[in-house]
Amino acid sequence: MSFKEQIALVTGGASGMGKATCLTLAKRGCNIALVDLNFEEANRVSKQIKKLGRQTLVFKTDVANSKDVKKVVSEIENRYKKIDILVNNAGHGHSAFLEEITDDEWNRMIGVHLGGAFNFCRFVVPLMKREKGGKIINIASTFGMCGESQWTHYSAAKAGILGFTKALAKELAPSKINVNAIAPGSIKTPLQDGVPAETLERLKEAIPWKRFGSPEEVASLIAFLCSGEAEYITGQVISINGGSHIVGI
């Protein structure tokens, strides 16, 4: 599975699943454009990518800001003339009861997750159409499929990603652009660092596979969906969750 000389744009690429995706795609031959608000960590990942022999660009950008997103895409186009792969992974986590969620928090949650995916797709798609193909992966969540108490704003944003993905896949299929969503369950990322050990153990025991997923497992699935082997897969939501969420027909 080689992506030699392809250009991959990954948002939220400084840590967790985003970082694993950057490194996995780089190992397979991609040059990486990395977007993250944590510029210091993003540069650390950039150094790792360069050690793999690949080129990289780093942008400190708020994905919810359409003007900044447009500038990022323009800079990548000026450098590489194309974008082959777009992974909308940037996220924002916050737990609260419905009546405690402020207008700002609601707008931020929707803006980062759903707005970020919309912004990057809007400016990247014309480049992909020009090249007569491309791969778009939107990172959703099992919360977007099933909902979760005290995560109504997050669940709503991720559910929006699912509808956005399916509609966009239909729209872009004639242009040979694949659009899919990945809905991870409990994945071991830095977001778990502040969670009490007993809570993590309880969550793990509720997973049929009896462990958390790894960022690298999610990244491997992303790599497959971006490969030529997955050409006939589009408009799908693939959940990687160890059996914790099994949805029947």
- Hey, which residues are catalytic here? 154
- Residue 12's nearest CA partner among 107, 120, 104 is 120
Q: Give the other-Cβ count within 10 Å of 19's Cβ.
A: 27
What is the SS3 assignment for the chain? CCCCCCEEEEECCCCHHHHHHHHHHHHCCCEEEEECCCHHHHHHHHHHHHHCCCCEEEECCCCCCHHHHHHHHHHHHHHHCCCCEEEECCCCCCCCCHHHCCHHHHHHHHHHHHHHHHHHHHHHHHHHHHCCCEEEEEECCHHHHHCCCCCHHHHHHHHHHHHHHHHHHHHHHHHCEEEEEEEECCECCHHHCCCCHHHHHHHHHCCCCCCCECHHHHHHHHHHHCCHHHCCCCCCEEEECCCCCCCCC
